[in-house]
Chain A
Amino acid sequence: GAGVSQSPSNKVTEKGKDVELRCDPISGHTALYWYRQSLGQGLEFLIYFQGNSAPDKSGLPSDRFSAERTGGSVSTLTIQRTQQEDSAVYLCASTQISESYEQYFGPGTRLTVT
């Protein structure tokens, strides 16, 4: 079946502009995560959505970052007033709530802020 998809695959933006990154999780997966992979920090958790519950935003690095999930499916990560330190690969993962909680990752969006 179809895996997690993300768009765009690459995004180059100028410092100060806003960007939106999109994630389509695996159909039927009720939980969705955003992670960020940067050279210095490795992979780090950003935000978690589960069903209709309030999202867990504890990993967001600043208030310039926000995310929403519409209809329990597609999610959008928005970064406002981008900075050079926001350059990274943004990865989305989804999981079906079950005993294993195994997470499945998308191919990522590579964001470059110039």
Chain B
Amino acid sequence: KQEVTQIPAALSVPEGENLVLNCSFTDSAIYNLQWFRQDPGKGLTSLLLIQSSQREQTSGRLNASLDKSSGRSTLYIAASQPGDSATYLCAVSSGGSNYKLTFGKGTLLTVNP
């Protein structure tokens, strides 16, 4: 059974700092990995998707990397801003018959002005 772990559970940083969020998964036979952002009381916003054959994806100040063999992904946020404050969720799909996502419990990020 796939299990996804995110470290740290919470992170507080001053504005402008670069930061890294970590995600690990127990079964390396994944189809893809998605990083999401969730604001309080809201749904999930997809940030980046990495296919199993890819090593990284970039969007603006965000960069996500994937090391499938070691079961790890990182989300790098450059020059953090107060508007980046949210919960960040990592999810993996193992493909198969339904491509369902298995989620970590998230990292609550607070960027202080």
Using a CB–CB cutoff of 8 Å, the interface residues on chain A facing chain B are 4, 6, 31, 33, 35, 42-45, 48, 50, 56, 58-59, 91, 93, 95, 99-108, 110
Nearest first, the 3 closest Cβ-Cβ pairs linking A and B are A43-B103, A105-B44, A107-B43
22 contacts between A and B (CB under 8 A): A4-B43, A33-B100, A35-B101, A42-B104, A45-B98, A48-B99, A48-B100, A56-B98, A58-B98, A59-B100, A93-B101, A95-B99, A99-B51, A100-B49, A100-B51, A101-B31, A101-B93, A101-B99, A103-B46, A105-B36, A105-B46, A107-B43
Query: Contact between A108 and B102 (Cβ–Cβ < 8 Å)?
Result: no
Chain B residues bordering chain A, tally (CB within 8 A): 26
The docked-state distance in angstroms from the alpha carbon of A108 to that of B103 is 16
The docked-state distance in angstroms from the alpha carbon of A80 to that of B2 is 30
Judge whether B107 is part of the interface by a CB distance below 8 angstroms.
no
Judge whether B97 is part of the interface by a CB distance below 8 angstroms.
yes
Provide the residues of chain A in CB contact with B36, threshold 8 Å.
105
Query: Contact between A101 and B32 (Cβ–Cβ < 8 Å)?
Result: yes
Judge whether B34 is part of the interface by a CB distance below 8 angstroms.
yes
**Residue among B31, B51, B91, B100 with most chain A CB within 10 A:** B100
Q: How far is the CB of A66 from chain B (nearest CB, A)?
A: 17
The docked-state distance in angstroms from the alpha carbon of A99 to that of B31 is 10
The docked-state distance in angstroms from the alpha carbon of A97 to that of B59 is 23
Q: How far is the CB of B46 from chain A (nearest CB, A)?
A: 6
With CB as the reference atom, state the residue of chain A lying closest to B101.
A103
Q: How far is the CB of B87 from chain A (nearest CB, A)?
A: 11
With A45-B102, A103-B34 as known contacts, state yes or no: A108 contacts B43, CB within 8 Å: yes
The docked-state distance in angstroms from the alpha carbon of A32 to that of B35 is 19
Query: Contact between A42 and B43 (Cβ–Cβ < 8 Å)?
Result: no
Judge whether B89 is part of the interface by a CB distance below 8 angstroms.
yes
Provide the residues of chain B in CB contact with A110, threshold 8 Å.
41
**Residue among B44, B91, B95 with most chain A CB within 10 A:** B44
Judge whether B42 is part of the interface by a CB distance below 8 angstroms.
yes
Query: Contact between B42 and A42 (Cβ–Cβ < 8 Å)?
Result: no
The docked-state distance in angstroms from the alpha carbon of A105 to that of B95 is 18
Provide the residues of chain A in CB contact with B41, threshold 8 Å.
110
